[in-house]
Chains A and B, each alone.
Chain A
Amino acid sequence: MGAIYKKELKSYFTSMIGCVFIAIMLVIISLYFFVVNLLNQVADFSTALNAITFVIVLLIPIITMRIVAEENRQKTDQLLLTSPVSVTKIVLGKYLALLTMYGIVMLILCTYPLIMSRYGAAELAKSYSSILGFFLMGGAYISIGLFISSLTESQVIAAVVSFIVMIFTYLMASLAQLLPSDNISTWIMMGGLVVIIALIAHVMLRNFIITGSIFVIGEAAFAIIYFVKPSLYDGLIVNILSWFSVVSRFGTFSLGIMDISALVYYVSVIFVFVFLTIMKIKKKRWS
């Protein structure tokens, strides 16, 4: 794990990507810091951070795109996977290297509230909790980028797909509000979801009995819920979709609240996508 961690970290600085990432990130955040906190004299760093969550969506794909895709393209995965290191350690090494890159920026940001405190009473607790939230949110997006990078051999595809997925989760909260929330349309949409799941299962398994029973049981379950307890459908779609909204969890941190549910949310997103990456790489052996 250590070997891969060191190698990845080193490669970010020898190939400039790392420096460019840190530089652009700092320039944008500092600009907001300067305008919001210093010029307009807002004593709270979280206001600036809240305004620039989009930076993550724009910049995280830059560091995650090559992380596994490049190994696949150069066939260096053959070296890693035939060495006496488990896939879990390989993926963790890579993930931690990415997190370190991002962590460097966060460490530098930690000095900003101190700058503010020179000029008056800065809200340090609120500022630092929002930096922690920003770090966790980035960690979650990095795990998504890592997983998408493991799906392809092309850095460009990895970057574009990561970008689209991240934009989608970024806009999810506002998109979800646009969808109808009455019970019947929720039922229809859940029914559609079952059809999609059954189709995906069919493509993967090619087994009519399993996919057919998924379809029948799923549709029956949602129909029963609709007739027996329709109140369960109240705002269900909105709730489900906003569950995917990685950014909205950041809101509670920027209020200075140490929200356990948001913490658990980010950690579980990280866990799920790191796990999926490990599974994806392991699965390659079987194809």
Chain B
Amino acid sequence: MIEVKNLVKDYYGNVAVDGLSFTVEEGEIVGFLGPNGAGKSTTMNIITGYLSATEGQVIVNGYDVFEDPEKAKKSIGYLPEQPPLYPDMKVREYLMFVADLKKVKKRERASMIKSIMELTKITDVSEKLIKFLSKGYKQRVGLAAAIVGYPEILILDEPTVGLDPKQIIEIRELIKSLSKKHTILLSSHIMQEIDAVCDKIIIINKGKLIAYDTPANIARVMENSRELHITVCGSEMTVRRALDYVDGIKKLDVRYSDATGMSDITIKMNEGCDVRKNVSEKLMDAKCPIIEMKLHEVSIEEIFLKLTNSNNKEDK
């Protein structure tokens, strides 16, 4: 469990984290989302004890990071933005060093590292020098180092940055499988990633907490969250007449294009209503064949942009 209370980090007048408070419960995967320079890495560096805070308190697994750092650090596995690798070490040698550093018992080390290498799929490069590895493998070695010692909490700073799509999916799967045993806080500025993996999302901008909820709840919070896009053959008048008395439509928007003889319809629905069946029946009755119909759920991406933008405006 991670408890962050009223965290402030002030770099000589440049406030990177501004009164941030949140709690990550045991067994959760929480995504830490924010534009570049929002204070994600700084917050993570403070939680892991790499940086100090100007104000506030961080409690990891019941230990205060500032007052009891060694015990708190023992329960954290950290993958920083740039994996902290020694280029002149071999992969297995590096992981053995990390295990020694994290005070893993000597007789458990070899077997633990073997299973971690299998988990992160780096067994086949275990005797290679780290400097000869590709970016994807380096990232995985960094992740393996974070898992060494099986700490209760994993903090991963942009774990998939710089990877190819296949590797991204692999790492995501890996993170999901890790979440059974670990509490995970991971940061990203890629929304789909957080959406795909996390139970909860923390959105921060300019060091301030903007939202902290489940992805679905954040989407629900947004007004007019669901839209229906339909393309039909038929003039604006016929379409409007057909759809005028359908229940559950909050807002109807029709644009007719002369060139194609088709109308683009955008429907905003009332909450909890699905009007697709009704709408298509009415349109069929009015002899307007439907070319295309799709339900558009507002993505986390749009919410994120909207939230961070409105936040910017308030500042001004």
Using CB atoms and an 8 Å cutoff, list the residues of chain A in contact with chain B. 2-4, 6-7, 11, 14-15, 74-86, 285-287
User: 19 A-B pairs, CB-CB below 8 angstroms?
Assistant: A6-B97, A11-B88, A14-B88, A15-B88, A74-B85, A75-B82, A76-B84, A77-B84, A78-B45, A78-B78, A79-B84, A80-B101, A81-B49, A82-B76, A83-B98, A84-B70, A84-B73, A84-B74, A285-B50
Residue B67 at the A interface, CB < 8 A?
no
Using CB atoms and an 8 Å cutoff, list the residues of chain B in contact with chain A. 11, 45, 48-52, 69-71, 73-74, 76, 78, 80, 82, 84-89, 97-98, 100-103, 145
A sample of 4 more A-B contacts (CB under 8 A), given A15-B88, A77-B84, is A4-B101, A78-B80, A79-B98, A286-B52
Rounded to whole angstroms, the CA-CA distance of A83 and B48 in the bound complex is 9
Q: Which of B50, B97, B100, B103 contacts A81 (CB 8 A)?
A: B50
Q: Which of B11, B51, B73, B89 contacts A83 (CB 8 A)?
A: B73
Determine the chain A residues whose CB is within 8 A of the CB of B45 once the complex forms. 78
User: Looking across the interface, which residue of chain A has its beta carbon closest to that of B72?
Assistant: A84
Closest beta carbon of chain A to B127's beta carbon, Å: 14
Q: Which of B52, B70, B87, B101 contacts A3 (CB 8 A)?
A: B101
Closest beta carbon of chain A to B155's beta carbon, Å: 9
Closest beta carbon of chain A to B41's beta carbon, Å: 10
Which of B51, B73, B98, B101 is packed against the most chain A CB atoms within 10 Å?
B101
Closest beta carbon of chain A to B50's beta carbon, Å: 5
User: Contacts A4-B101, A285-B52, A286-B52: A82 and B78 contacting too (C-beta < 8 A)?
Assistant: yes
Which of B70, B73, B84 is packed against the most chain A CB atoms within 10 Å?
B84
Determine the chain B residues whose CB is within 8 A of the CB of A85 once the complex forms. 70, 101
Determine the chain A residues whose CB is within 8 A of the CB of B84 once the complex forms. 74-79
User: Contacts A75-B80, A82-B48: A3 and B100 contacting too (C-beta < 8 A)?
Assistant: yes
The A contact surface, by secondary structure, is helix
Rounded to whole angstroms, the CA-CA distance of A4 and B76 in the bound complex is 19
Rounded to whole angstroms, the CA-CA distance of A286 and B66 in the bound complex is 12
Rounded to whole angstroms, the CA-CA distance of A275 and B48 in the bound complex is 24
Q: Is the CB of B51 within 8 A of A79?
A: no
Determine the chain B residues whose CB is within 8 A of the CB of A2 once the complex forms. 100
Closest beta carbon of chain B to A127's beta carbon, Å: 38
User: Looking across the interface, which residue of chain B has its beta carbon closest to that of A2?
Assistant: B100
Closest beta carbon of chain B to A78's beta carbon, Å: 5
Determine the chain B residues whose CB is within 8 A of the CB of A7 once the complex forms. 86, 97
Rounded to whole angstroms, the CA-CA distance of A98 and B45 in the bound complex is 29
Q: Is the CB of B71 within 8 A of A82?
A: no
Q: Is the CB of B82 within 8 A of A82?
A: no
Q: Is the CB of A84 within 8 A of B80?
A: no
Determine the chain A residues whose CB is within 8 A of the CB of B49 once the complex forms. 81-82
User: Looking across the interface, which residue of chain A has its beta carbon closest to that of B98?
Assistant: A79
User: Looking across the interface, which residue of chain B has its beta carbon closest to that of A286?
Assistant: B52
Rounded to whole angstroms, the CA-CA distance of A85 and B39 in the bound complex is 26
Closest beta carbon of chain B to A203's beta carbon, Å: 14
Rounded to whole angstroms, the CA-CA distance of A80 and B48 in the bound complex is 11
Determine the chain A residues whose CB is within 8 A of the CB of B102 once the complex forms. 83-84
Rounded to whole angstroms, the CA-CA distance of A142 and B80 in the bound complex is 31
Q: Is the CB of B85 within 8 A of A82?
A: no
Rounded to whole angstroms, the CA-CA distance of A110 and B286 in the bound complex is 105
Rounded to whole angstroms, the CA-CA distance of A3 and B50 in the bound complex is 19
User: Looking across the interface, which residue of chain B has its beta carbon closest to that of A83?
Assistant: B101
Closest beta carbon of chain A to B9's beta carbon, Å: 10
User: Looking across the interface, which residue of chain A has its beta carbon closest to that of B70?
Assistant: A84
User: Looking across the interface, which residue of chain B has its beta carbon closest to that of A6?
Assistant: B100
User: Looking across the interface, which residue of chain B has its beta carbon closest to that of A15?
Assistant: B88
User: Looking across the interface, which residue of chain A has its beta carbon closest to that of B100?
Assistant: A3
Rounded to whole angstroms, the CA-CA distance of A11 and B88 in the bound complex is 8
Closest beta carbon of chain B to A263's beta carbon, Å: 34
Closest beta carbon of chain A to B100's beta carbon, Å: 4
Determine the chain B residues whose CB is within 8 A of the CB of A3 once the complex forms. 97, 100-101
Closest beta carbon of chain B to A1's beta carbon, Å: 10
Rounded to whole angstroms, the CA-CA distance of A287 and B48 in the bound complex is 16
Q: Is the CB of A82 within 8 A of B50?
A: yes
Q: Is the CB of A285 within 8 A of B51?
A: yes
Determine the chain B residues whose CB is within 8 A of the CB of A11 once the complex forms. 86, 88-89
Rounded to whole angstroms, the CA-CA distance of A14 and B70 in the bound complex is 31
Which A-B residue pairs are the 8 nearest by beta carbons? A3-B100, A79-B84, A84-B74, A76-B84, A82-B48, A285-B52, A84-B73, A3-B101
